[in-house]
């Protein structure tokens, strides 16, 4: 016998708690890794004097701030609905993403300014061999963290962790760019490579900031879920046509954190009794919440036919 809607939602609540634990663990790992990267890059920056390394260091400093915010955000998003927040607190994750994007953009503009200053007033780099080894280690640490964050983001459908993964993916590129700048300077002595690579890093950082901000704003503005969600709802409703469910209209969808909210009007044969119409509605809601992960459905039953 299929699970009742209440049983299904109890299981969903347990799964949500498990997701929260995964999110918290991933957020803590990102903080620890960012601290490690900052230590490496600080030492490397002082040792080499490379503006590309300092650019990468500033990116990591912004990342650890973002990760600290994410740690708070995923904790806030995990809180259950209350009297003042009937839909829960999931949008805390999107607010964190929006803040992160503004911080990342600010750091990107600052790096462009510093790089242009370095072009106008050149400075030599030193100890490039040490810097190359250190940045190789930084690339490896960032790649490991991105793998863990992306896996956690996919398993929990978390926008905050997805944003964090994007930041640290950018770290791979910024670290690699700083590494490339040091290699070019070491092999060729072309000092202009350092600020030019720094500008390339900055442009990538700004593009990442725009991407995170756009996604966060979409969630905060209740942008509808992809068309595939409406199509899946219509498919599930169609299965009950022979039972008296004649159609569905006014489907409205939105997202809050990891949860997907679906509101709709279900058209039930007016020949059905009130109890029969109620049971059909509950069965449809149950199937939708089963087949669309992390969804919450509110259905209004309308007599039809």
Q: What is the pLDDT of residue 253?
A: 93
Q: What burial class does residue 137 get, using C-beta atoms within 10 Å of its C-beta: 0-12 exposed, 13-18 middle, 19+ buried?
A: middle
Cα separation, 126 vs 134, whole angstroms: 14
Answering whether pTM is above 0.75, one says: no
Q: How far, rounded to the nearest angstrom, does the alpha carbon of residue 125 sit from its chain's CA centroid?
A: 36
Model pLDDT for residues 117-127, shown as the tens digit of each residue: 777 777 777 78
Cα separation, 93 vs 151, whole angstroms: 17
Q: What is the mean pLDDT of residues 167-177?
A: 76
How large a percentage of the chain has pLDDT more than 70?
A: 91
| End-to-end Cα distance, the chain | 30
Q: Which of 12-16, 176-180, 274-278 has the lowest mean pLDDT?
A: 12-16
Phi and psi torsions of 33, nearest 5°: -65, -40
Cα separation, 291 vs 278, whole angstroms: 20
Q: Residues 6 or more apart from 151 whose CB is under 8 A from it?
A: none
- Residue matched to tokens 């690579």: 197
Closest CA to 163 of 178, 153, 171, 173: 153
In the chain the domains, ranked by start, together with CATH numbers, are: 5-220 (1.20.1510.10), 227-304 (3.30.70.1350)
Please report the beta strands in 47-98, taking only residues with DSSP state E, as ranges in sequence order. none
Q: Does the structure show a pLDDT above 90 at 29? A: no
The DSSP letter of residue 271 is T
């Amino acid at each position: 016998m299929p699970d009742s809607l209440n049983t299904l939602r109890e299981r969903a609540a347990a799964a949500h708690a498990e997701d929260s634990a995964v999110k918290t663990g991933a957020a803590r790992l990102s903080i620890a890794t960012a601290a490690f990267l900052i230590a490496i890059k600080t030492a490397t920056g002082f040792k080499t004097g490379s503006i590309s390394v300092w650019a990468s260091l500033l990116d990591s400093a912004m990342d650890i701030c973002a990760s600290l915010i994410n740690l708070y955000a995923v904790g806030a998003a995990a809180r259950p609905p209350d009297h003042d927040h009937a839909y829960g607190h999931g949008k805390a994750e999107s607010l964190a993403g929006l803040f992160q994007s503004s911080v990342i953009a600010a750091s990107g503009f600052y790096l462009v300014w510093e790089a242009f200053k370095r072009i106008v007033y050149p400075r030599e780099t030193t100890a490039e061999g040490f810097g190359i080894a250190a940045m190789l280690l930084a690339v490896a640490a960032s790649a490991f963290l991105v793998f863990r964050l992306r896996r956690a983001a996919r398993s929990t459908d978390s926008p905050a962790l997805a944003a964090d993964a994007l930041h640290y993916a950018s770290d791979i590129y910024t670290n690699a760019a700083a590494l490339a700048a040091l290699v070019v300077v070491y092999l060729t002595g072309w000092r202009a490579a350092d600020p030019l690579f720094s500008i390339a890093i900055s442009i990538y950082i700004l593009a990442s900031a725009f991407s995170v901000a756009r996604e966060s704003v979409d969630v905060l503005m209740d942008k509808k879920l992809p068309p595939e969600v409406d199509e899946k709802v219509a498919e599930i409703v169609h299965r009950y046509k022979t039972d008296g469910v004649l159609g569905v209209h006014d489907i409205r969808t939105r997202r809050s954190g990891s949860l997907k909210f679906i509101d709709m009007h279900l058209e039930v044969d007016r020949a059905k009794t009130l109890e029969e119409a109620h049971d059909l509605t509950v069965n449809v809601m149950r199937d939708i919440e089963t087949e669309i992960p992390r969804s919450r459905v509110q259905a209004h039953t309308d007599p039809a036919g």
